[in-house]
Amino acid sequence: MLSQEINEKSILITGGTGSFGKQCVKHLLNTYNPKRLIIFSRDELKQFEMAQEYSPATYNCLRYFIGDVRDKERLTRAFQDVDIVIHAAAMKQVPAAEYNPFEAVKTNVIGAQNVINVAIDQKVKRVIALSTDKAANPINLYGATKLCADKLFIAGNTYGQECTNFSIVRYGNVIGSRGSVISTFQKQKETGFLTVTDPRMTRFWISLEQAVDFVMKCLHNMVGGEIFVPKIPSMNIMDLARVIGSECRVEYVGIRPGEKLHEVMVPMDNARDTLEFDDYYMIKPSFRFFERRFCEEGCRPVPEDFEYSSGNNTIWLSVEELAGLVKKL
Protein backbone atom coordinates (compact mmCIF):
# COMPACT_ATOMS: atom_id res chain seq x y z
CA MET A 1 0.00 0.00 0.00
CA LEU A 2 1.18 3.52 -0.82
CA SER A 3 0.42 4.72 2.71
CA GLN A 4 3.14 2.41 4.03
CA GLU A 5 5.60 4.00 1.61
CA ILE A 6 4.69 7.61 2.48
CA ASN A 7 3.65 7.66 6.14
CA GLU A 8 6.56 8.65 8.39
CA LYS A 9 8.76 9.28 5.35
CA SER A 10 10.51 12.49 4.32
CA ILE A 11 9.25 13.83 0.99
CA LEU A 12 10.63 16.76 -0.99
CA ILE A 13 8.91 18.50 -3.91
CA THR A 14 11.05 20.67 -6.17
CA GLY A 15 9.01 23.49 -7.64
CA GLY A 16 6.74 22.93 -4.66
CA THR A 17 5.01 26.32 -4.90
CA GLY A 18 3.80 25.75 -8.47
CA SER A 19 0.32 24.61 -9.48
CA PHE A 20 1.18 20.92 -9.24
CA GLY A 21 3.26 21.34 -6.09
CA LYS A 22 0.48 23.06 -4.15
CA GLN A 23 -2.08 20.43 -5.15
CA CYS A 24 0.36 17.66 -4.29
CA VAL A 25 1.03 19.16 -0.85
CA LYS A 26 -2.72 19.41 -0.24
CA HIS A 27 -3.19 15.75 -1.21
CA LEU A 28 -0.28 14.49 0.91
CA LEU A 29 -1.39 16.44 4.00
CA ASN A 30 -5.01 15.31 3.68
CA THR A 31 -4.31 11.67 2.85
CA TYR A 32 -1.06 10.63 4.49
CA ASN A 33 1.13 11.30 7.50
CA PRO A 34 4.59 12.21 6.20
CA LYS A 35 7.43 12.69 8.65
CA ARG A 36 8.63 15.75 6.73
CA LEU A 37 7.19 17.45 3.66
CA ILE A 38 9.69 19.85 2.14
CA ILE A 39 8.58 22.53 -0.31
CA PHE A 40 11.68 23.46 -2.31
CA SER A 41 11.44 26.47 -4.63
CA ARG A 42 13.23 29.72 -5.45
CA ASP A 43 10.35 32.19 -5.06
CA GLU A 44 10.15 33.58 -1.52
CA LEU A 45 6.87 35.40 -2.20
CA LYS A 46 5.13 32.21 -3.37
CA GLN A 47 6.48 30.40 -0.32
CA PHE A 48 5.19 33.16 1.96
CA GLU A 49 1.75 33.05 0.32
CA MET A 50 1.62 29.25 0.44
CA ALA A 51 2.60 29.26 4.12
CA GLN A 52 -0.48 31.37 4.87
CA GLU A 53 -2.63 28.45 3.71
CA TYR A 54 -0.36 25.59 4.75
CA SER A 55 1.40 26.80 7.87
CA PRO A 56 4.14 24.82 9.62
CA ALA A 57 2.43 25.85 12.85
CA THR A 58 -0.61 23.82 11.80
CA TYR A 59 1.22 21.09 9.88
CA ASN A 60 4.40 20.44 11.82
CA CYS A 61 5.79 18.18 9.08
CA LEU A 62 6.08 21.11 6.65
CA ARG A 63 9.41 22.70 5.78
CA TYR A 64 9.87 25.61 3.35
CA PHE A 65 13.28 25.63 1.67
CA ILE A 66 14.39 28.49 -0.57
CA GLY A 67 16.63 27.08 -3.28
CA ASP A 68 17.19 26.51 -6.97
CA VAL A 69 17.80 23.18 -8.71
CA ARG A 70 20.69 24.91 -10.46
CA ASP A 71 22.44 25.09 -7.07
CA LYS A 72 23.86 21.65 -6.33
CA GLU A 73 25.17 22.65 -2.92
CA ARG A 74 21.72 23.78 -1.78
CA LEU A 75 20.16 20.57 -3.12
CA THR A 76 22.70 18.56 -1.13
CA ARG A 77 21.56 20.25 2.05
CA ALA A 78 17.84 19.95 1.20
CA PHE A 79 18.02 16.24 0.23
CA GLN A 80 19.60 15.17 3.51
CA ASP A 81 17.65 12.20 4.96
CA VAL A 82 14.96 12.52 2.26
CA ASP A 83 13.24 9.30 1.15
CA ILE A 84 11.21 10.49 -1.85
CA VAL A 85 11.72 13.37 -4.30
CA ILE A 86 9.00 14.59 -6.67
CA HIS A 87 10.76 16.76 -9.24
CA ALA A 88 8.35 19.37 -10.59
CA ALA A 89 10.68 22.37 -10.97
CA ALA A 90 11.13 23.54 -14.56
CA MET A 91 11.01 26.44 -16.96
CA LYS A 92 7.73 25.62 -18.70
CA GLN A 93 6.73 28.55 -20.93
CA VAL A 94 7.53 27.79 -24.58
CA PRO A 95 8.10 31.43 -25.69
CA ALA A 96 10.29 32.18 -22.66
CA ALA A 97 12.43 29.10 -23.34
CA GLU A 98 12.79 30.05 -27.02
CA TYR A 99 13.92 33.56 -26.12
CA ASN A 100 16.11 32.49 -23.17
CA PRO A 101 17.47 29.12 -24.32
CA PHE A 102 20.52 29.00 -22.04
CA GLU A 103 18.32 29.65 -18.99
CA ALA A 104 16.00 26.79 -19.97
CA VAL A 105 18.98 24.47 -20.34
CA LYS A 106 20.37 25.52 -16.93
CA THR A 107 17.09 24.75 -15.14
CA ASN A 108 15.64 21.85 -17.12
CA VAL A 109 18.81 19.96 -18.06
CA ILE A 110 21.59 20.94 -15.66
CA GLY A 111 19.04 21.21 -12.84
CA ALA A 112 17.83 17.68 -13.63
CA GLN A 113 21.40 16.38 -13.56
CA ASN A 114 21.94 18.07 -10.19
CA VAL A 115 18.81 16.41 -8.79
CA ILE A 116 20.02 13.02 -10.05
CA ASN A 117 23.54 13.32 -8.68
CA VAL A 118 22.49 14.66 -5.30
CA ALA A 119 19.70 12.08 -4.94
CA ILE A 120 22.23 9.30 -5.51
CA ASP A 121 24.80 10.86 -3.17
CA GLN A 122 22.19 11.36 -0.42
CA LYS A 123 20.71 7.87 -0.99
CA VAL A 124 17.19 9.08 -1.75
CA LYS A 125 15.16 5.95 -2.41
CA ARG A 126 12.74 7.15 -5.10
CA VAL A 127 12.72 10.07 -7.49
CA ILE A 128 9.79 10.66 -9.82
CA ALA A 129 10.18 13.48 -12.35
CA LEU A 130 7.37 15.30 -14.12
CA SER A 131 7.66 15.51 -17.88
CA THR A 132 5.43 16.85 -20.65
CA ASP A 133 3.88 15.82 -23.94
CA LYS A 134 6.18 18.39 -25.55
CA ALA A 135 9.13 16.11 -24.76
CA ALA A 136 7.86 13.56 -27.31
CA ASN A 137 9.25 14.39 -30.78
CA PRO A 138 10.07 17.93 -29.61
CA ILE A 139 10.08 20.89 -31.99
CA ASN A 140 10.69 23.62 -29.40
CA LEU A 141 13.50 24.16 -26.92
CA TYR A 142 11.29 23.52 -23.90
CA GLY A 143 10.37 20.10 -25.24
CA ALA A 144 13.97 19.37 -26.18
CA THR A 145 15.22 20.19 -22.68
CA LYS A 146 12.53 18.01 -21.12
CA LEU A 147 13.36 15.12 -23.46
CA CYS A 148 16.98 15.48 -22.41
CA ALA A 149 15.93 15.53 -18.75
CA ASP A 150 13.81 12.38 -19.28
CA LYS A 151 16.79 10.53 -20.69
CA LEU A 152 19.03 11.74 -17.87
CA PHE A 153 16.60 10.49 -15.23
CA ILE A 154 16.23 7.10 -16.90
CA ALA A 155 20.01 6.74 -17.23
CA GLY A 156 20.33 7.76 -13.58
CA ASN A 157 19.12 4.28 -12.64
CA THR A 158 22.40 2.81 -13.89
CA TYR A 159 24.34 4.96 -11.40
CA GLY A 160 21.97 4.58 -8.46
CA GLN A 161 23.03 0.93 -8.09
CA GLU A 162 19.61 -0.13 -6.82
CA CYS A 163 19.75 2.39 -3.96
CA THR A 164 18.05 5.24 -5.86
CA ASN A 165 15.35 4.60 -8.47
CA PHE A 166 14.23 7.18 -11.02
CA SER A 167 11.02 7.19 -13.09
CA ILE A 168 9.16 9.69 -15.29
CA VAL A 169 5.52 10.76 -15.44
CA ARG A 170 4.54 12.39 -18.75
CA TYR A 171 1.19 14.12 -19.19
CA GLY A 172 -0.47 16.92 -21.17
CA ASN A 173 -1.82 20.39 -20.47
CA VAL A 174 -3.13 20.92 -16.94
CA ILE A 175 -6.58 22.49 -16.83
CA GLY A 176 -6.46 25.91 -15.24
CA SER A 177 -2.75 26.00 -14.46
CA ARG A 178 -0.98 29.34 -14.53
CA GLY A 179 -0.48 30.62 -18.08
CA SER A 180 -2.92 28.14 -19.62
CA VAL A 181 -5.07 28.97 -22.64
CA ILE A 182 -8.15 29.05 -20.38
CA SER A 183 -6.86 32.06 -18.46
CA THR A 184 -5.85 33.70 -21.75
CA PHE A 185 -9.32 33.24 -23.24
CA GLN A 186 -10.99 34.49 -20.06
CA LYS A 187 -8.97 37.71 -20.17
CA GLN A 188 -9.58 38.16 -23.92
CA LYS A 189 -13.31 37.63 -23.46
CA GLU A 190 -13.58 41.12 -21.99
CA THR A 191 -12.32 42.59 -25.28
CA GLY A 192 -14.97 40.83 -27.39
CA PHE A 193 -12.63 38.65 -29.42
CA LEU A 194 -10.43 35.58 -28.89
CA THR A 195 -7.16 34.77 -30.64
CA VAL A 196 -6.90 31.18 -31.87
CA THR A 197 -3.73 29.86 -33.47
CA ASP A 198 -5.39 27.22 -35.69
CA PRO A 199 -8.95 25.81 -35.55
CA ARG A 200 -7.62 22.26 -36.05
CA MET A 201 -5.43 22.37 -32.94
CA THR A 202 -5.93 19.68 -30.28
CA ARG A 203 -4.42 19.15 -26.84
CA PHE A 204 -4.41 16.55 -24.08
CA TRP A 205 -6.17 17.75 -20.90
CA ILE A 206 -5.71 16.64 -17.32
CA SER A 207 -6.88 18.23 -14.08
CA LEU A 208 -4.49 18.98 -11.22
CA GLU A 209 -6.25 16.42 -9.06
CA GLN A 210 -5.87 13.75 -11.76
CA ALA A 211 -2.22 14.64 -12.24
CA VAL A 212 -1.45 14.28 -8.54
CA ASP A 213 -3.41 11.03 -8.25
CA PHE A 214 -1.52 9.60 -11.22
CA VAL A 215 1.86 10.59 -9.82
CA MET A 216 0.97 8.91 -6.52
CA LYS A 217 -0.07 5.75 -8.38
CA CYS A 218 3.19 5.74 -10.34
CA LEU A 219 5.18 6.35 -7.18
CA HIS A 220 3.70 3.13 -5.85
CA ASN A 221 4.21 1.09 -9.07
CA MET A 222 7.65 2.34 -10.14
CA VAL A 223 10.74 0.17 -10.09
CA GLY A 224 12.92 2.69 -11.96
CA GLY A 225 13.40 3.45 -15.65
CA GLU A 226 9.76 3.71 -16.74
CA ILE A 227 7.94 6.57 -18.43
CA PHE A 228 4.31 6.51 -17.27
CA VAL A 229 1.72 8.08 -19.57
CA PRO A 230 -1.92 8.41 -18.42
CA LYS A 231 -4.88 7.83 -20.71
CA ILE A 232 -6.51 11.26 -20.69
CA PRO A 233 -8.97 13.02 -23.01
CA SER A 234 -8.23 15.40 -25.85
CA MET A 235 -10.00 18.64 -26.63
CA ASN A 236 -10.29 20.83 -29.71
CA ILE A 237 -9.27 24.45 -29.27
CA MET A 238 -12.43 25.73 -31.00
CA ASP A 239 -14.64 23.84 -28.56
CA LEU A 240 -12.87 25.57 -25.70
CA ALA A 241 -13.26 28.96 -27.42
CA ARG A 242 -17.00 28.35 -27.78
CA VAL A 243 -17.31 27.46 -24.10
CA ILE A 244 -15.50 30.54 -22.80
CA GLY A 245 -16.52 33.15 -25.37
CA SER A 246 -19.44 31.93 -27.43
CA GLU A 247 -20.43 35.51 -28.23
CA CYS A 248 -16.87 36.60 -29.10
CA ARG A 249 -15.35 37.06 -32.52
CA VAL A 250 -12.47 34.65 -33.23
CA GLU A 251 -9.27 35.89 -34.83
CA TYR A 252 -6.91 33.28 -36.28
CA VAL A 253 -3.29 34.29 -35.67
CA GLY A 254 -1.40 31.23 -36.93
CA ILE A 255 0.68 28.64 -35.12
CA ARG A 256 3.39 30.23 -32.99
CA PRO A 257 7.05 29.18 -33.24
CA GLY A 258 7.57 25.87 -31.46
CA GLU A 259 3.89 24.83 -31.49
CA LYS A 260 2.32 21.72 -32.99
CA LEU A 261 -1.17 21.10 -34.29
CA HIS A 262 -1.37 17.93 -32.17
CA GLU A 263 0.71 16.87 -29.19
CA VAL A 264 2.18 13.37 -28.83
CA MET A 265 2.81 11.46 -25.61
CA VAL A 266 3.92 8.09 -27.04
CA PRO A 267 5.81 8.48 -30.35
CA MET A 268 5.61 5.65 -32.87
CA ASP A 269 9.33 5.01 -32.47
CA ASN A 270 8.68 4.11 -28.81
CA ALA A 271 5.87 1.67 -29.62
CA ARG A 272 8.19 -1.35 -29.47
CA ASP A 273 8.90 -0.60 -25.83
CA THR A 274 5.36 0.44 -24.80
CA LEU A 275 2.87 -1.56 -22.77
CA GLU A 276 -0.81 -0.68 -22.44
CA PHE A 277 -2.67 -0.94 -19.14
CA ASP A 278 -6.32 -0.16 -18.49
CA ASP A 279 -5.75 3.51 -17.66
CA TYR A 280 -2.16 4.25 -18.68
CA TYR A 281 0.76 3.36 -20.93
CA MET A 282 4.25 2.48 -19.75
CA ILE A 283 7.32 3.04 -21.91
CA LYS A 284 10.09 0.74 -20.78
CA PRO A 285 13.72 1.80 -21.19
CA SER A 286 15.20 0.70 -24.50
CA PHE A 287 18.56 -0.10 -22.89
CA ARG A 288 18.87 -3.87 -22.78
CA PHE A 289 21.12 -3.80 -19.71
CA PHE A 290 18.10 -2.85 -17.58
CA GLU A 291 17.43 -6.15 -15.83
CA ARG A 292 14.38 -5.21 -13.79
CA ARG A 293 11.01 -6.78 -13.24
CA PHE A 294 8.65 -4.10 -14.43
CA CYS A 295 4.99 -4.24 -13.44
CA GLU A 296 3.53 -6.01 -16.49
CA GLU A 297 0.52 -7.73 -14.96
CA GLY A 298 -2.71 -7.00 -16.80
CA CYS A 299 -1.08 -5.27 -19.75
CA ARG A 300 -0.42 -5.90 -23.45
CA PRO A 301 2.10 -4.61 -26.00
CA VAL A 302 0.85 -1.89 -28.34
CA PRO A 303 0.95 -2.38 -32.15
CA GLU A 304 4.19 -1.52 -33.94
CA ASP A 305 2.59 1.46 -35.67
CA PHE A 306 1.02 2.80 -32.46
CA GLU A 307 1.23 6.51 -31.66
CA TYR A 308 -0.59 8.22 -28.81
CA SER A 309 -1.48 11.66 -30.11
CA SER A 310 -4.04 14.27 -29.07
CA GLY A 311 -5.25 14.11 -32.66
CA ASN A 312 -5.83 10.33 -32.84
CA ASN A 313 -7.00 9.90 -29.25
CA THR A 314 -10.10 7.77 -28.69
CA ILE A 315 -11.22 9.85 -25.67
CA TRP A 316 -12.53 13.39 -26.29
CA LEU A 317 -14.03 16.08 -24.11
CA SER A 318 -17.38 17.31 -25.39
CA VAL A 319 -18.37 20.97 -25.29
CA GLU A 320 -20.60 20.20 -22.30
CA GLU A 321 -17.78 18.45 -20.44
CA LEU A 322 -15.41 21.33 -21.18
CA ALA A 323 -18.01 23.78 -19.87
CA GLY A 324 -18.29 21.79 -16.66
CA LEU A 325 -14.52 21.76 -16.15
CA VAL A 326 -14.16 25.49 -16.80
CA LYS A 327 -17.02 26.23 -14.40
CA LYS A 328 -15.18 24.47 -11.57
CA LEU A 329 -12.09 26.65 -11.92
Q: Above 80 in pLDDT, residue 2?
A: no
CB 216 within 8 A of CB 273: no
Is 192 part of a structural domain of the chain? no
pLDDT digits (tens, 9 = 90+) for 187-211: 999 999 999 999 999 999 999 999 9
Domain-embedded: residue 245: no
Q: Is 204 helix (H, G, I), strand (E, B) or coil?
A: strand
Question: Domain range spanning residue 27?
Answer: 2-172+206-231+267-308
Residue 136 falls inside a structural domain: yes
The answer as to whether 253 is a domain residue is: no
Give me the CATH number covering residue 166: 3.40.50.720
Interatomic CA distance for residues 312 and 268, integer angstroms: 12
Q: Is the pLDDT of residue 291 over 80?
A: no
In percent, the amount of the chain with pLDDT more than 90 equals 83
**Of 62-76, 156-170, 274-288, which has the strongest mean pLDDT?**
62-76
Scanning 71-172, the segments in alpha helix (DSSP H) are 72-78, 94-99, 101-105, 111-121, 141-160
> pLDDT tens across 210-238, in order?
999 999 999 999 999 999 999 999 999 99
Average pLDDT over residues 32-56: 96
Q: Is 247 exposed, middle or buried (0-12, 13-18, 19+ CB in 10 A)?
A: exposed
Query: Is 180 contained in some domain?
Result: no
What pLDDT digit, counting tens, does each position of 124-171 carry? Answer: 999 999 999 999 999 999 999 999 999 999 999 988 777 999 999 999
Q: Is residue 271 part of a domain?
A: yes
Average pLDDT over residues 51-58: 96
Active site residues: 134
Residue 155 resides in a domain: yes
How many domains does the chain fold into?
Answer: 1
Torsion sign across C-alpha atoms 308, 312, 317, 319: positive
275-279: average pLDDT: 96
| Residue 109 lies inside a defined structural domain of this protein | yes
Closest CA to 230 of 318, 180, 174, 169: 169
